[in-house]
């Protein structure tokens, strides 16, 4: 690691090393970079989806319905479980998306407590454009890595996630 290649996370670990040389700074460097990458790419995705009139969180709702396949119908409960969101948070997202005409809520014919959430024609059209735009942001973020590097990274992340999930 030459002086010139140091980044913002190196600056932090260097500072820690100077005041607490007893600490192993490798773990904080790994997760510091993971956090910064996650944040930077999410911010970029947010801006991208905003151009389609939805937030990243709202996109996730429509995307979950889209990838569930025809007839693009799930209950609010299934959605909030998948998106790791409370029912209160889900209600808010569904309210906005329904008002925007991207999905609709209908009573569940088999359980009068429940609802069925379905993508509208307009929602389907929007998600199929927006998902491609989002993927392009992610592809661009990975463009500095060679194919085999992406492969290696993917494998290491899978292994790491297995240990924290």
Partner DNA sequence: TGTAAGTAGCTTAGCGCTAAGCTACTTTTC
Partner DNA sequence: GAAAAGTAGCTTAGCGCTAAGCTACTTACA
Spatial separation of the C-alpha atoms in residues 76 and 61, rounded to whole Å = 10
Query: What are the E-state strand segments in 29-107?
Result: 73-74, 103-107
Helices and strands of the chain, counted as H and E runs? 7, 3
Structure tokens at 11: 């600056």
Nearer to DNA, 62 or 85 (CB): 85
Candidates 5-13, 47-55, 95-103, 104-112; binding stretch for its own copies (CB under 8 A) = 5-13
Is 84 a binding residue for DNA by CB under 7 A? The answer is: yes
> Using CA atoms in the order 12, 18, 24, 27, what is the torsion angle rounded to 10 degrees?
0
- Residue 75 gets the label, from left (phi > 0), alpha (psi -120 to 50) or beta, of beta
Q: Which CB, 13 or 78, lies closer to DNA? A: 78
Residue 71 binds which entry of its own copies, DNA, none, CB below 5-8 Å type-dependent: none
Contact between 29 and its own copies (CB under 8 A)? yes
What is the DSSP secondary-structure string of 88-141? HHHHHHHHHHHHTTSEEEEE-TT-TT-EEEEE-HHHHHHHHHHHHHHHHHHHHH
Site mask for its own copies (CB under 8 A), range 56-75, x = bound? ----------xxxx------
Q: Looking at 3, 20, 86, 109, which residue binds its own copies (CB under 8 A)? A: 20
* Through-space distance between the first and last CA atoms of the chain, rounded to whole angstroms: 32
Contact flags string 132-151 toward its own copies, x per CB under 8 A: x-xx--xx-xxxxx---xx-
List residues near DNA by CB under 7 A: 55, 57, 75-77, 80, 84-94, 96, 105, 111-115
List residues near its own copies by CB under 8 A: 7-9, 12, 15-16, 18-20, 23-24, 26-31, 33-38, 40-42, 44, 66-69, 128, 131-132, 134-135, 138-139, 141-145, 149-150, 152-154, 156-165
């Amino acid at each position: 690691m030459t002086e010139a290649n140091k980044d913002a996370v190196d600056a932090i670990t260097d500072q820690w090393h100077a005041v607490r040389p007893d600490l192993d700074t490798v773990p904080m460097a790994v997760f510091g970079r993971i956090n910064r990458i996650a944040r930077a790419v999410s911010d970029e995705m947010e801006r991208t989806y905003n151009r389609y009139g939805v937030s990243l969180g709202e996109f996730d709702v429509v995307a979950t319905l889209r990838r569930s396949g025809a007839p693009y119908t799930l209950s609010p409960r299934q959605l909030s479980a998948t998106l790791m969101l409370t029912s209160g948070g889900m209600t808010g997202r569904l309210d906005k998306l329904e008002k925007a005409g991207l999905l609709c809520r209908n009573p569940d014919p088999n359980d009068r407590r429940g609802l069925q959430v379905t993508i509208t024609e307009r929602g389907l059209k929007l998600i199929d454009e927006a998902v491609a735009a989002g993927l392009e942001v992610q592809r661009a973020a990975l463009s500095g890595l060679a194919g085999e590097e992406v492969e290696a990274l993917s494998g290491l992340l899978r292994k790491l996630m297995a240990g924290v999930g």
